[in-house]
């Protein structure tokens, strides 16, 4: 008996679609060369192409890691349609250990009777428990099945190490605007889609792309829902889907946000100034606008890191640690989960004490260096470990601070050209208030101020 999902998959491969099949299912490519996006994984000679072509030695189990709607299932099904291998599909949401063992048992029978290899596509493998993933190991290790697994979560945390080591990890990228536009155009012109039934205004297409956030399935779902509403609401020959209809179907306000336009710069500017101005509510609002507009979360994370260093600095050194942790979370988790650590970092930074003293210090020092205010390094600070330095009196007179009573020695550290100049001027905000008091004492001892 075949897994439940197998029959639906075979119907899709044969083109036996009922009238109720979703547009996203009807438009799913049947060949690997029809897949939009992920060109870095589909080059000639790549593991996926070899798997599809049935190249000897190309039967490598793979784990496809990428955001929703980036093509994981599409690639798996295109591989099945391109090769003469038997294709079986399971969903980790509904399948269990028994289903996995049944597939492996059937794969052995198919191999022995017909000499045919079985490809098992396992969707959402991160939902499988360790025991369920362990059940896959004999089949993968002995080559009884070729596993093509899909996950939206980092496999390093969601897939057991033995399975990872026996599979090739391939990372999919979110679809960009050009690729989403191509998919939408295909759906409007294809006989399997909406050919001749509806038109889409440029503004409506931009809205669908914007609301899809790199997810092809979401884009086609929005297009189909908009067409359904338009078809039911008018008896006229007008069949153009406009921006307002898309907004109505999406049940949300369309953000006028062009990632290469003025709105991009205006929103990020307002975001930065809100964090700097200690207004967490405004900062979270602008963060939400960027997320919903499909802004690259790595760009947001970089801005948060800069904010932590430039606007908070040593008033709260922990801010940079929090910001860096949020940036790491973006890489490990991806969206939409990464929105949570991003929000935590934004709130932390917004409510933290502020100081740009370190930022001003380095910029002032760089300015002096560029203007030629450098001068030679004082002799007592120069390196004295290479031959000939003794005759040059390098290191002579240097006082080792650890030998002094307070661990601080009175001696000249900067070049004479800038001696006595203060680059770092701490504020009285947060931890810097304590730093300022300590620095005053240090300068008094070191310089004799």
Q: What is the mean pLDDT of residues 385-405?
A: 78
pLDDT the model gives residue 259? 55
pLDDT the model gives residue 260? 54
**C-alpha dihedral sign at 176, 182, 185, 191:** negative
Nearest to 241 by CA among 214, 233, 212: 233
Contact 441, 406 (CB under 8 A): no
| CA–CA dist 67, 213 (Å, integer) | 10
| Helix orientation angle between 280-292 and 339-351, rounded to the nearest 10 degrees | 150
350 — pLDDT class (breaks 50, 70, 90): very high
| CA–CA dist 166, 60 (Å, integer) | 9
CB half-sphere exposure, 25, CA atoms < 13 A:
15
pLDDT the model gives residue 6? 32
318 — pLDDT class (breaks 50, 70, 90): very high
pLDDT the model gives residue 19? 47
| Helix orientation angle between 243-250 and 202-212, rounded to the nearest 10 degrees | 30
pLDDT the model gives residue 3? 38
Q: Is the pLDDT of residue 313 over 90?
A: yes
Q: Is the pLDDT of residue 339 over 90?
A: yes
Instruction: Enumerate residues 6+ apart whose C-beta is below 8 A from 351.
Output: 278, 280
7 — pLDDT class (breaks 50, 70, 90): very low
pLDDT the model gives residue 312? 94
Instruction: Please write the tens of the pLDDT for every residue from 100-153.
Output: 899 999 989 888 888 778 888 888 898 888 888 999 999 888 888 889 999 888
Q: Is the pLDDT of residue 37 over 70?
A: yes
Nearest to 276 by CA among 253, 298, 249, 303: 303
Nearest to 187 by CA among 243, 237, 241: 241
Domains annotated for the chain, with CATH where assigned, are 4-171 (3.40.50.300), 177-250 (1.10.8.60), 262-351 (1.20.272.10), 357-447 (1.10.3710.10)
Instruction: Please write the tens of the pLDDT for every residue from 153-202.
Output: 888 888 899 999 888 898 898 888 999 999 999 999 888 888 878 888 99
Dihedral-angle region of residue 37 (phi above 0 means left; psi in -120 to 50 means alpha; beta otherwise): left
Alpha helices in 17-96 (DSSP H): 23-26, 47-53, 72-82
Q: Is the pLDDT of residue 12 over 70?
A: no
Q: What is the mean pLDDT of residues 354-368?
A: 91
pLDDT more than 90, % of the chain: 21
8 — pLDDT class (breaks 50, 70, 90): very low
Question: How far is C-alpha 311 from the chain's CA centre?
Answer: 25
Please tell me which of 40-44, 167-171, 264-268 the model is most confident about, judged by mean pLDDT: 167-171
341 — pLDDT class (breaks 50, 70, 90): very high
pLDDT the model gives residue 288? 92
Q: Is the pLDDT of residue 85 over 80?
A: no
Q: Is the pLDDT of residue 90 over 60?
A: yes
Rounded to the nearest 10 degrees, how much is the dihedral formed by the CA atoms of 124, 125, 127, 132? Answer: 150
- Window from 62-66, 277-281, 414-418 with minimum mean pLDDT: 414-418
Q: Is the pLDDT of residue 2 over 50?
A: no
To the nearest whole number, what is the mean pLDDT of the chain?
83
Please tell me which of 218-222, 290-294, 373-377, 378-382 the model is most confident about, judged by mean pLDDT: 218-222
Instruction: Please write the tens of the pLDDT for every residue from 419-447.
Output: 888 888 888 888 888 888 888 888 888 88
Contact 114, 139 (CB under 8 A): no
| CA–CA dist 159, 155 (Å, integer) | 5
Q: What is the mean pLDDT of residues 288-298?
A: 84
Question: How far is C-alpha 93 from the chain's CA centre?
Answer: 24
Q: Is the pLDDT of residue 231 over 80?
A: no
Instruction: Please write the tens of the pLDDT for every residue from 43-63.
Output: 888 888 887 777 666 567 889
């Amino acid at each position: 008996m075949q897994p439940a999902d197998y029959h639906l998959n075979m119907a899709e491969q044969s083109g036996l679609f009922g009238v109720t099949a979703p547009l996203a299912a009807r438009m799913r490519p049947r060949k690997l060369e029809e897949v939009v996006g992920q060109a870095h994984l589909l080059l000639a000679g790549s593991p996926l192409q070899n798997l599809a072509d049935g190249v000897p030695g190309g039967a490598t189990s793979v784990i496809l890691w990428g955001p929703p709607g980036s093509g994981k299932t599409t690639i798996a099904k295109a591989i099945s349609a391109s090769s003469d291998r038997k294709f079986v599909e399971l969903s980790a949401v509904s399948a269990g250990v028994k289903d996995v063992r049944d597939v492996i048992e059937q794969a052995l029978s198919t191999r022995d009777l017909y000499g045919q290899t079985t490809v098992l596509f396992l969707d959402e493998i991160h939902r499988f428990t360790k025991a369920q993933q362990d059940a896959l190991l004999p089949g993968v290790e002995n080559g009884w099945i070729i596993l093509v697994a899909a996950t939206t979560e980092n496999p390093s945390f969601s897939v057991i190490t033995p399975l990872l080591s026996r599979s090739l990890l391939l990372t999919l990228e979110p679809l960009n605007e050009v690729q989403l536009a191509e998919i939408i155009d295909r759906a409007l012109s294809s006989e399997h889609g909406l050919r001749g039934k509806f038109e889409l205004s440029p503004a409506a297409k931009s809205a669908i792309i914007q609301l899809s956030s790199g997810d092809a399935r979401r884009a086609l779902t929005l297009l189909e829902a908009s067409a359904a509403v338009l078809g039911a609401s008018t008896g006229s020959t007008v069949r153009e889907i406009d921006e307002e209809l898309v907004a109505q179907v999406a049940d949300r306000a369309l953000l006028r946000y062009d990632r290469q336009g003025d709105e991009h710069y205006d929103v990020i500017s307002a975001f930065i100034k809100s964090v700097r101005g200690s207004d967490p509510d405004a900062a979270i609002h602008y963060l939400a606008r960027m997320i919903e507009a499909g802004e690259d979360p790595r760009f947001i994370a970089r801005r948060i890191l800069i904010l932590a260093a430039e606007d908070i600095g040593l008033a709260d050194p922990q801010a940079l640690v929090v910001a860096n942790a949020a940036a790491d979370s973006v890489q490990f988790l991806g969206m939409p989960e990464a929105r949570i650590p991003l929000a935590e970092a934004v709130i932390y930074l917004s409510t933290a004490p502020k100081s740009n003293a370190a930022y001003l210090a380095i910029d002032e020092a760089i300015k002096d260096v560029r203007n030629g205010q450098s001068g030679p390094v004082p002799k007592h600070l120069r390196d004295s470990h290479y031959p000939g330095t003794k005759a040059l009196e390098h290191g002579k007179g240097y006082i080792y601070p650890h030998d002094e009573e307070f661990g601080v020695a009175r001696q000249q550290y900067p070049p004479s050209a800038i001696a006595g100049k203060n680059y770092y001027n701490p504020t009285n905000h947060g931890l810097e208030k304590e730093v300022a008091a300590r620095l005053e004492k240090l300068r008094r001892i070191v310089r004799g101020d």
